[in-house]
Amino acid sequence: MTGTASNPTSHRASDRAAIPMAIFLWVLVTCALAYGVIQTLAKVVKLFS
Amino acid sequence: MSFLDRESTVAGPGYNRWLFPPAALAVHLSIGQVYAFSVFKIPLVEHFDSSLTAIGAIFSISIVMLGLSAAVLGTWVERSGPRKAMLASGLCWASGFLIGALGVSTDQLWLVYLGYGFIGGIGLGIGYISPVSTLIKWFPDRPGLATGLAIMGFGGGALIASPLSARLLETYGGNAESPDGIVASFLTLAAVYAVAMTLGAFTARVPAKDWAPAGFTPHTDSHGLRTSANVSAGNAIRTRAFWLLWVVLFCNVTAGIGILEQASPMIQDFFSSVDPEEAAGFVGLLSLANMAGRFVWSSTSDVVGRKPIYMAYLGIGAVLYFLLASAGPSSTFLFVALAVVILSFYGGGFATVPAYLKDLFGGFQVGAIHGRLLTAWSAAGIAGPLIVNAIADNRKAAGAEGADLYQLSLFIMVGILVVGFLANLAVRPVPERYHEPTDQADDVDEAGGVRTGSTAAPTDLRDTPEGARR
């Protein structure tokens, strides 16, 4: 696989740096979505109670 | 600033494609806050001693700017790549809150229009389309799932922002005389979204030109509506298929937004036993259905195809609307169940359209084409609520009450969905004369450049079935 970037070494370093950030973002967006869904479900319960 | 360019974001060998969706989600969850703007409506009305209409205009301006900026800046987003576009979006979105906070603290409503509405709205448009074409390139085997995942974030953003904003207002306090609560909430949201969107931007990577997922063989021929060719954004808007899809999206959004915007008063008018708190639960349920539909139906479209799934959104949707209008008043459970499925189709329509565009026009400038198509959303955002509100007002003036206020508008929505169904039925493959020359499309695709004045520009602008067969 070839990219357009001229320096594959800097690519690899940049990709490695992105991995922990992406994993952190997965955790962040999952927690945020869970917060939103739980808060909303609490309201929904009132509709059927 | 070359590190922001598309070329600097090309992923190296072995990069895991599942590292890109959280970047897309971070952006969409942030800009999805716009659907929770209503939390600030009453505090702003009290602070500015203004009308609901004047404060509601802030939201309207932002949605109109979303459509316009997505249409106008789509090619720039495509050329610049996701990192630069996501950063620009974050900058506009956070600035919108900051300028809005300044407007509130200095009692100048026009600054809130300018900040949250105009500048923030530009951030919405750029942010909405920024990850789309990159997701399609990372997931050529499952474009519906990939775009559904990101666009689900736009629906989910309101679920997060609504309780968060209410909690912020409660924490910071403030009242009509002292705008501290609104200002501090705006500043906090600006900081949170700036950080989330910047993290997303710096995580963004585009695949190398010849990258493909393991075991995936790119289609070298065209099947049905799916093309192996590419069409530029400039040429796409000359095709009949684009405008038919515009009608499809317009009809689907008009019908859904008509219910969504009036959900709380509608269920209370249909059933006098439902109180405002229970109605809020209904609104929450519709938001969940809207979000889930974006992911579930869009992913399903990878299996059943785009055209069939839009036939379901629009055809089954029309039947459900008819049942809602005719049998809905008989049972709260039936009413809620029908509305939930209808809103899941509404969300599905939004999330599936990028993959539909990719099938029809190829991945070359799909983000820019998507941006132009979103003008249908702006138009529907005006038409849907206008139909429902105007009819309800007229019926009320004529002495009607309860479900009678909405039945006519629901039957009109049935008609609108039937129009959308027929438009979807008429979608045909894009004629070859609109296709980019293969070698040049590949070159521009890699560089992310734009070539709207293509050498493949048609001499005959009529998009005919005869042309499609050539």
Q: Which residues of A touch B159 (CB under 8 A)?
A: 33, 36-37, 39-40
Q: Give residue B460's pLDDT.
A: 33
Residue numbers in chain B where pLDDT is lower than 70:
1, 174-177, 219-223, 439-470
Q: Which residues of B touch A37 (CB under 8 A)?
A: 156, 159, 288
Residue pair B182/B169 in contact (Cβ under 8 Å)? The answer is yes
How far does Cα B434 stand from its chain's mean position?
Answer: 27
Q: Which residues of B touch A4 (CB under 8 A)?
A: 7, 10, 208-209, 446-447
Q: Which of A23, A29, A40 sits opposite B26 (nearest CB)?
A: A29
Residue pair B373/B240 in contact (Cβ under 8 Å)? The answer is no
Contact B22 A12 (CB under 8 A): no
Residue pair B345/B313 in contact (Cβ under 8 Å)? The answer is yes
Q: Which residues of A touch B279 (CB under 8 A)?
A: 47
Contact B281 A44 (CB under 8 A): yes
Question: For B208-241, how does the pLDDT look when each residue is reduced to its tens digit (9 = 90+)?
Answer: 888 888 888 776 666 677 777 889 999 999 999 9
Question: For B334-364, how does the pLDDT look when each residue is reduced to its tens digit (9 = 90+)?
Answer: 999 999 999 999 999 999 999 999 999 988 8
Residues 10-29 of A with CB under 8 A from B: 11-12, 14-15, 18-19, 21-26, 28-29
What are the backbone dihedrals phi and psi of residue B132, each rounded to the nearest 5 degrees, phi first? -60, -55
CA distance B46 to chain A (A): 26
Q: Give residue B183's pLDDT.
A: 95
| Domains with residue ranges and CATH for chain B | 16-203 (1.20.1250.20), 233-433 (1.20.1250.20)
Chain B residue with minimal CA distance to A21?
B203
Query: Please, which pLDDT band fits residue A7 given cuts at 50, 70 and 90?
Result: low
Chain B residue with minimal CA distance to A25?
B22
Q: Give residue B175's pLDDT.
A: 62
Q: Give residue B470's pLDDT.
A: 28
End-to-end CA distance of chain B: 46
What are the backbone dihedrals phi and psi of residue B223, each rounded to the nearest 5 degrees, phi first? -125, 125
If you average pLDDT over every residue of chain A, what do you get? Answer: 78
Rounded-to-integer distance, Cα B25 and Cα B364, Å: 22
Contact of A38 with chain B, judged by CB distance below 8 Å, is answered with: no
Question: For B382-430, how does the pLDDT look when each residue is reduced to its tens digit (9 = 90+)?
Answer: 888 888 888 888 888 888 888 888 889 999 999 999 999 999 999 999 9
CA distance A31 to chain B (A): 10
Size of interface A-B (CB pairs under 8 A): 119
Q: Read off the pTM.
A: 0.84
Residue pair B417/B314 in contact (Cβ under 8 Å)? The answer is yes
Rounded-to-integer distance, Cα B436 and Cα B423, Å: 26
Tell me the ipTM for this assembly: 0.83
Q: Give residue B102's pLDDT.
A: 97
Q: Which residues of A touch B200 (CB under 8 A)?
A: 25
Contact A47 B281 (CB under 8 A): yes
Q: Give residue B463's pLDDT.
A: 35
Task: Compute the Cα dihedral for B70, B89, B62, B113 and give only its sign.
Answer: negative
Q: Which of A11, A29, A47 sits opposite B29 (nearest CB)?
A: A29
Chain B residue with minimal CA distance to A31?
B160
In terms of pLDDT, which residue wins out, B453 or A22? A22
